[in-house]
Structure 1
C-alpha cells in the first residue's frame, strides 16, 4: 500500500516520537536497528523529513533526531502525502490513468469508498496516538 520509503519513514517517525518522551535524541544507527531498515536509506529519508519539519534534529555529541509537541500532533496522512503524494487517496485501484467518475475502471465504485475510509483514518491518526499504543503494548514496531 505504501512505498518502502513511506513505510520506513512512518516506522522511524513513530520510533523517534516514542524515544523523545524524556527529551531524548536518537541516532541513525539506533533508529535503523530498531525498525529494521538500511542505515543509509533511513538517514536520507530523515534528512528530508527534518528539512520539511516533520522531525527535529540536532548535531553534536548529544545530537540526533527528536520530536516536539507540534511533530507529535502531525497526522499520518500528511506524512504519507509528503512522501508518496496523493495517489493513495485519489488513484485508481487498478493503476489506470484514465479512471474517473465518467470513465470508471471495474473497481472504481468499490475502491472509492475504501480510499475515502483510508484517508479519514490516516487524517485522524496522529503520531502521538501510535506512541501511546506502543507504550500500552497494544501495538508493536518490531516483533
Structure 2
C-alpha cells in the first residue's frame, strides 16, 4: 500500500465520526413516536368501547322501564319514550365520565334505542388535538316481555 493510498483512506474515514450516534438518536426518536401513537390509538379504542358499554347499559335500562298493560287475558309490556329517556338518563348521569345522552326513544314500543356522545382527548401530546375527538355510540335493547 502506497503512502498516497493511506492518505486517501485516512481522509475518507475521518468524515464518518459521529454518524452512528446520529443514526441511533434518529431511531430512538422514531421508536418513541411509534410508542406514543400506539398508546393514543389504544386509548381511543378503549374510550370507544367504554362508550359502547355505556350505551348498551342505558338501552338495557330503558328497555326495563316498561309498563304492563292488560289485553284480555294477555299481559303486554309497553315502552314509552318518556320512561326510556328517564331510565337512560339515570344511567348516563350515574357514570359521571363526561358522556352525554343524545337521544333515547322507543321506535316500536318494544325496544329502546339510546345514543350517547363523549369527547376523547389523547393521553399524551393533546396539544395536537385541542378540541378532542367526538365519539358517539348507539345501542338498541328489546324488552323480553312481549
Same fold per superposition (TM over 0.5): no
With a CA cutoff of 8 Å and minimum separation of 6, indicate the structure with the bigger relative contact order.
Answer: 1
TM-score, structure 2 as length reference: 0.29
TM-score (norm: length of structure 1): 0.29
Would you tell me which structure has more strand in proportion to its own residues? Answer: 2
